[in-house]
Chains A and B, each alone.
Chain A
């Protein structure tokens, strides 16, 4: 597959490496910063440009990876889809609901694949947890909890991530996007949310550094999360409780600690279903995610975390922001 990369920043480099490992060809790199585009292009002997339009129109490109800040996602992704390119777009799919809907509609009306970069679905411990849930090992799922956060960096206040016109919001749309996607993936759809966002430490108002969410399903099952840019010791903790047991996932590698998944039975039920798996070393998802995308294209099937999933995550995030602003729960249609 011939791949164009748009946005040669941190994610652009990570994705490029995974594509290369998978023996696909990076043929074109674009970045508004000409030097950034060139630096990445040189490594993979690709062409480079400052105009993303050159990439989406190039007949020597089959699929496009969009790794720009969210501000540009909608325009670039819809254009790429309309030009018949398959797209892997970084999360969040877009800054807001309107833009996410535009992308979704473009994806429905073009016969190409769109995958949203919810790479957490590809962490081995999370995949294992999902497999156990799908096999019914812990029975009917009653609830989920997630605590996720990072302490930020000294100069967090000056990054694009804290300008809502570029990013769509603060920590809620940043790490929170992954969390709501995982909740949907495990539990299904939610019909009501309540959220609180706060700017507790960083000088980044009106953008939040902490967000709390409660999500309710039509059958009144509740899941709860907190994401934080003031989590002084990095944390990823995901817990799932079912009618026959529970599963917890801790860590996502690196500064979050090595990944571990623990399965435990309900105390009075099946006590010998206890299992614990630790995934040592680099916990990386970029290669697995890329391969899932390229398989979906080859098999002509929907990729895991498709346009709909990208849209629904933005819908939940949008509702959580509105809830926080209004101080009331918001119904999801």
Chain B
């Protein structure tokens, strides 16, 4: 039985807590938050203990792993404290405010020999898992390009949340949301070698953070990724398309307000009617459960998890390259041996 403490009891904590209790191989024993009352509410719901700060979570001998769901600027100190005490860590994305912070966490985990997983839950959505499988099985042949349009409409008062506070987060909507699309591209295709991007703040009062980011990424072999990450997508949208020499894949929706998740596979054919096979994934979003299951399995088998610390670092590297590009108005080259 993996005994777990959760640091952070807000939005993400509410999603992650229940699945820890649901999985038979794990048990949530402690929830901590900045304010005890907040931790207590969630702890009562999940029937575990509550405290403040993270000292207790990282120091108690009966705790094997911690889940970090704090605002981004606390990821580094919380993760390092946990790792120093030999705890396995599942840390929310983005792993740190910038690449350096993420690297510190990744290197510390490697040195300590603990498992580190970055919370790229999209990899655990069934449609995206299916897409990955199709690519691996060669169903669409050599990949030529991918397109992702990913956006939400924000919510009234968004500009007052910590997500819109530049002191707490390392970037705007690209870092908050778009990073998932970048992680998926790295998973599906590989690392980009050059990056160009534009960002702007066109609607929400959250300068200097962006509410829209547009990027074009290219790999050494000429695969292009077109990404638009938006906080002004009034009707929520998730659409990921991947085209190869032999066919194409489209994943649409993530359940909930994004609509039913669907994965389609079609083949190149110049004469036959257009046809594709589509799988619809009904029911609730199970990505949090699947992600947790993978983390626990990695701990038990003492192996790298899917979306590990390196993935956390590399996705962040791409995000910041896009920011740099947008700032300087230039293409940013990423060296290949990173």
Q: Decide yes or no whether B45 CB sits under 8 A from chain A.
A: no
For window 224-254 of B, CB contacts with A under 8 Å fall at 224, 226, 228, 230, 232-235, 243, 245, 247-248
Q: Decide yes or no whether B260 CB sits under 8 A from chain A.
A: no
The residues of B that contact A268 with a CB separation of less than 8 Å are 153, 155-156
Contact of B226 among A222, A226, A266 (CB under 8 A): A226
Interface segment among A101-109, A210-218, A297-305: the answer is A210-218
Given contact pairs A200-B144, A328-B330, A241 touches B233 in the complex (Cβ within 8 A) = yes
Q: Decide yes or no whether B186 CB sits under 8 A from chain A.
A: no
> What is the minimal beta-carbon distance from A180 to any residue of chain B, in angstroms?
16
**Is the Cβ of A221 less than 8 Å from the Cβ of B329?**
no
**Is the Cβ of B200 less than 8 Å from the Cβ of A220?**
yes
Q: Decide yes or no whether B77 CB sits under 8 A from chain A.
A: no
Residue-by-residue, is B142-158 near A (CB-CB < 8 Å gives 1, otherwise 0)? 00110101000101100
Q: Decide yes or no whether B194 CB sits under 8 A from chain A.
A: yes
**Is the Cβ of B234 less than 8 Å from the Cβ of A246?**
yes
Contact of B234 among A198, A210, A221, A267 (CB under 8 A): A267
Q: Decide yes or no whether B202 CB sits under 8 A from chain A.
A: yes
Q: Decide yes or no whether B56 CB sits under 8 A from chain A.
A: no
Count of interface residues, chain B, beta-carbon cutoff 8 Å: 41
Q: State A152–B214 Cα separation when bound (angstroms).
A: 28
The residues of A that contact B212 with a CB separation of less than 8 Å are 142-143, 222
Q: Decide yes or no whether A194 CB sits under 8 A from chain B.
A: yes
The residues of B that contact A329 with a CB separation of less than 8 Å are 196, 329-330
Q: Decide yes or no whether A153 CB sits under 8 A from chain B.
A: yes
**Is the Cβ of B145 less than 8 Å from the Cβ of A151?**
no
Count of interface residues, chain A, beta-carbon cutoff 8 Å: 42
Interface segment among B63-71, B265-273, B291-299: the answer is B265-273
Contact of A151 among B153, B198, B268 (CB under 8 A): B268
The residues of B that contact A230 with a CB separation of less than 8 Å are 144, 243
Of the candidates B156, B230, B331, the one having the most CB atoms from chain A within 10 angstroms of its own CB is: B331
Contact of A143 among B144, B155, B232, B243 (CB under 8 A): B232
**Is the Cβ of A233 less than 8 Å from the Cβ of B202?**
no
Q: List 28 A-B contacts (CB under 8 A).
A: A142-B203, A143-B232, A147-B147, A152-B270, A198-B145, A198-B222, A198-B224, A200-B222, A212-B145, A212-B224, A214-B196, A216-B198, A220-B198, A221-B200, A221-B202, A222-B212, A224-B226, A226-B147, A226-B226, A231-B243, A232-B266, A232-B268, A266-B153, A266-B234, A268-B153, A268-B156, A327-B194, A329-B196
Q: List 17 other contacts, CB 8 Å, given A145-B149, A266-B153.
A: A142-B202, A142-B232, A143-B202, A147-B147, A196-B196, A220-B202, A224-B214, A226-B147, A232-B243, A232-B266, A234-B274, A241-B230, A246-B234, A255-B274, A266-B234, A327-B194, A328-B330
- Chain B positions within 8 Å of A, measured between CB atoms, are 144-145, 147, 149, 153, 155-156, 194, 196, 198, 200, 202-203, 212, 214, 216, 218, 222, 224, 226, 228, 230, 232-235, 243, 245, 247-248, 266-271, 274, 276, 329-331
- Chain A positions within 8 Å of B, measured between CB atoms, are 142-143, 145, 147, 151-154, 192, 194, 196, 198, 200-201, 210, 212, 214, 216, 220-222, 224, 226, 228, 230-234, 241, 243, 245-246, 255, 264-268, 327-329
